[in-house]
Structure 1
């Protein structure tokens, strides 16, 4: 790994004043608290983070207003907007041919019935669309932060080129700061939206979801052998420019990264990344799926007795701790979705059994939203030792995190002094039940 620039931080969370977390022992002089209970200094809550995908409104009819109506907004500490795109020239941009962008993003005028505020958007207002709805949501929920997440599975294609050199990193970060934090949106077509600073303040953070600098991502991704080292340098450059922006505006900006839970990819990350970020989310899901010919849990907290060598959330987190990650900077990622197989043999209620292929669902093939998984009929099983849940319905087998598993994972977070919980993604939880379970598992 290349050495990264020295951090400007001395605080436990990477920067002074950023929600340091401590474990209060039973003999501490600050009241009667059980050993191992996690307490946030200054009364700050542990992170409760939810991803909102920019295709939720266009493809699912799930708008930002739903988060106000179902109570999720008041329970979350941060919303991650997925995803920001990277152009072939290695700069942040808004594509004009994906997910109905830029129309849904900042040009669509919402009616009063659709809007968070309950008021219709004037035709000529400079910011409309989902970004204006997010601005309204944050005005109603002052404790809710918002980060723009860059990349994801489909849009990490050009991350490698953006991170390749000192010059490219500086230009890339500057373009992202201008577009997403300064809010300089392009004026496109005949629409009146856009212009310098029109989206300023909508986001107060950047999340880097490069999938993955170690390889194994989308087959269209550009890859170079030095991607892992360049990722660390890129994170440091984001930290440098965000610190400079803070000095300029007097506002704080959050920097985070999304990390894989799989064993091989995790080993390629440099522990120096954690010197520069406020937190890192670890994807505690997709350990298995219907691409495999046998059923297996995809988000189990521990390896089950039936498969002691299986991946687990616990193993994923420990790998980053071994690399030097402070526990309080690791946020455990949870799935608000199930993975399913069909043609499953009944032995052991379908667990670990051969399957004919993926189950089918209206949401996304072998993926079922949490809200729909909760309505499944059939045998329901909780493995408390593995921290996993499944439903055997006819010859279909579905595994997902039900509220019991969420509770077990929240207890793990507090016991081990982690930074909180994250969920992908909020449209799979239209009633806010998953977010409520996540919040309550961390103490409400």
Structure 2
């Protein structure tokens, strides 16, 4: 199979290079296309809950070949308490300590083939990540804090000098020093998770901007986000001097220019960040009344919204606000957004729909590994090569998604724009051969 894969990627490279070269100039497109001397970041989010319905244990990062092709794994997520602390709680909706570090992982799911025993200090996903790092010593693992559901109290944590100091100290104690609480599962204890995590990823969605209903939002979030980063950098460096290690600090940033202005002080935040990942998806979805793209590289011709979102709009937005292109990592989805009840004929794009498409876990949201099976089952693949997006349509149901051709085109855009690399949400959406991760690796290979 390897010669076929090589021929396929070579053809994709030739086609995509012509498309990128023919694209209209933008702030991002003005960069030189020479490879980065220090290589590209290849960041993948591993979801805490993926071990359940998606049957995606940490071991699959090893057996699929993904771990060999990633530089960072972001563990999603760590929670923030109402009083502004990092914490682990087994309560419904508050956390899953069982998945994190209590669950005895059976031999068939274990990275090294050795089963966990009940009550060991470090079981679960954390224990498996430690084993994965032993097998892949160059791989960095980050604890990602917040996310859509757990950003509720970030504003409380960031509000004052005292709250910021306490919050950062609690996160370092819990995740870097590894002092896990001993809950009903028996696992945990002082230093139980020491060495698992190599840094902190802040996924605050969003400072001074609406996110999930119920989130605490304050106008001063914008300035406080910068101050929070400064405090993280200060304490991470202080702890790193003790352990003789650099602890990375990253952040997930929005694609919406209005949210950029409301919540972030542009250039200032990059003084403290090793790099930042930029949302490159969820531009549209079944919350819209018409079908559309959720992750196009560029705004398609004929798009019903003006202005509209795209990966290029997001990157150009951050560059215009002073972000160094060498610290921007473009987000790529391993899932699609879908509609059903589509009318109007044609290829289905920009057509009225009645609601979200049926899917495995959430209506209107489906993993790439499922969508890749639809061609030949009544669905036809359509592409907009200039805009850099693809979709599936069977006359009634429409899915917008990234397949290997789109992903490869985006890697060439990353190279040409002089960006820092690619991030993916989330690794459990890929197939068992890590096809999309392998595509990113091939596209960002330094040469």
TM beyond 0.5: yes
Residue 296 of structure 1 is matched in structure 2 by 292
Structure 2 contact 341–397 (Cα < 8 Å) conserved: yes
Specify every segment of 5 or more residues in structure 1 that has no aligned partner in the other structure, as ranges.
Answer: 1-34
SS in 1 for 2:285: coil
Structure 1 contact 376–393 (Cα < 8 Å) conserved: no
Structure 1 contact 58–104 (Cα < 8 Å) conserved: no
Structure 1 contact 263–311 (Cα < 8 Å) conserved: no
Tell whether 2:358 aligns with 1:395. no
Relative contact order: is structure 1 or structure 2 higher (C-alpha 8 Å, sep ≥ 6)? 2
- 1:109-149 Cα distance to aligned partner (Å, 9 max, x none): 11211100111123342111110000001110111101000
Residue 342 of structure 2 is matched in structure 1 by 344
- 1:281-329 Cα distance to aligned partner (Å, 9 max, x none): 0011111100100011010111111126321110111111111111010
Structure 2 contact 151–204 (Cα < 8 Å) conserved: yes
Deviation at 1:347, TM superposition (A): 3.6
Paired with 2:430 and 2:323, the residues of 1 have a C-alpha distance of 30
Tell whether 2:277 aligns with 1:276. no
Residue 63 of structure 2 is matched in structure 1 by 69
Paired with 2:397 and 2:281, the residues of 1 have a C-alpha distance of 20
Structural mapping, 1:134-213, within 5 Å: 134-189=129-184, 191-213=185-207
- 1:179-207 Cα distance to aligned partner (Å, 9 max, x none): 01111101113x43111111111000100
Structure 2 residue corresponding to 1:125, chosen from 87, 108, 120: 120
Higher helix share: 2
SS in 1 for 2:319: helix
Paired with 1:203 and 1:258, the residues of 2 have a C-alpha distance of 17
Structural mapping, 1:5-404, within 5 Å: 36-41=32-37, 44-98=38-92, 101-189=96-184, 191-268=185-262, 269-271=264-266, 272-307=268-303, 309-377=307-375, 378-404=379-405
SS in 2 for 1:273: helix
Residue 437 of structure 1 is matched in structure 2 by 439
Structure 1 contact 148–207 (Cα < 8 Å) conserved: yes
Q: TM-score, normalised by structure 2?
A: 0.89
Residue 11 of structure 2 is matched in structure 1 by none
- Structure 1 runs (4+) deviating above 4 angstroms are none
Structure 2 contact 326–418 (Cα < 8 Å) conserved: yes
For the aligned residue pairs, the C-alpha RMSD in angstroms reads: 1.4
Specify every segment of 5 or more residues in structure 2 that has no aligned partner in the other structure, as ranges.
Answer: 1-30
Paired with 1:56 and 1:326, the residues of 2 have a C-alpha distance of 33
